[in-house]
Amino acid sequence: DAKTTQPNSMESNEEEPVHLPCNHSTISGTDYIHWYRQLPSQGPEYVIHGLTSNVNNRMASLAIAEDRKSSTLILHRATLRDAAVYYCIRRDAGGTSYGKLTFGQGTILTVHP
């Protein structure tokens, strides 16, 4: 069974970088890696996604291991508003699983002032 695993929680100080890891050891060659975050009482919100190469956007960076079995979401300078649950998601791209998503259990990020 495909698994996507994340640490339950992490802590950071404001203005410091945060590296949130995710393991997806059974990922196939065409599956995409997505990251979303969820604030209290809200639906998940898109952060970033990628396939093989590292990706950057205004919110974060995504570093994908060369073997694609793991990835790391990087918040370059954490703010108090970044405190949320961060989900790593594998989006199937092949065959009969096209359209399926597998969520990691989420990492609760606490940011200290």
Partner 1 sequence: EAQVTQNPRYLITVTGKKLTVTCSQNMNHEYMSWYRQDPGLGLRQIYYSMNVEVTDKGDVPEGYKVSRKEKRNFPLILESPSPNQTSLYFCASSPQGHPNEKLFFGSGTQLSVL
- Would you tell me which residues interact with partner 1 (CB under 8 A)? 30-32, 34, 36, 41-46, 49, 51, 87, 91-93, 98-106
For partner 1, the closer of residues 100 and 112 by Cβ is 100
- Distance of closest approach, residue 71 Cβ to partner 1, in angstroms: 14
In b/e form, how buried is each residue of 92-112, taking b as 16+ CB within 10 angstroms? beeeeeeeeebebebbebebe
For partner 1, the closer of residues 12 and 102 by Cβ is 102
In angstroms, the Cα distances linking 23 to 68, 80, 89, 92, 111 are: 9, 26, 10, 15, 23
- Distance of closest approach, residue 36 Cβ to partner 1, in angstroms: 7
3 state DSSP class of 24: coil
- Distance of closest approach, residue 21 Cβ to partner 1, in angstroms: 16
